[in-house]
Structure 1
Amino acid sequence: AENSLVILLQGLRGRVTTVELRDESAAAGRVTSVDAFMNVRLAEVTFTDRQGAVSRLDELFVTGRNIR
């Protein structure tokens, strides 16, 4: 089942999506890469922390274990 999640995420490459993180923050951006460990690299990111503060980032790398 986890392998199919990796395939799904890899299918999102090039698309804009939102990744929810375990600490209740979220990152919305264009998926540029996904590896076999579900590590995701996003570009043109809008990051919203758990308090709702918004930051804009050129790039963000999210480790798979931090994805909710």
Structure 2
Amino acid sequence: MKALTTYDPEERADLLYEALEIFVDYTPWYGLCESVGARAEAPELAGVEYMIAGSIYYQDIYYEE
């Protein structure tokens, strides 16, 4: 993703916004993109736990039943 390597703040913001639009169009949740990842929220989201195993980052996402 070019936004990760772009120094110019305005160009970077435009690229991240474009990534946000793509993310929202192709996922069932509303997304908020940032430079290192994407986050999404749904009303029934109960919680998220973050775990690290070496160089791999995991997320345990769980919902209300």
Q: TM-score range by the shorter chain?
A: 0.3 to 0.5
Ranked by relative contact order (alpha carbons within 8 Å, sequence separation 6 or more), the top structure is: 1
- The structure with the largest helix share of the pair is 2
TM-score, normalised on structure 1? Answer: 0.32
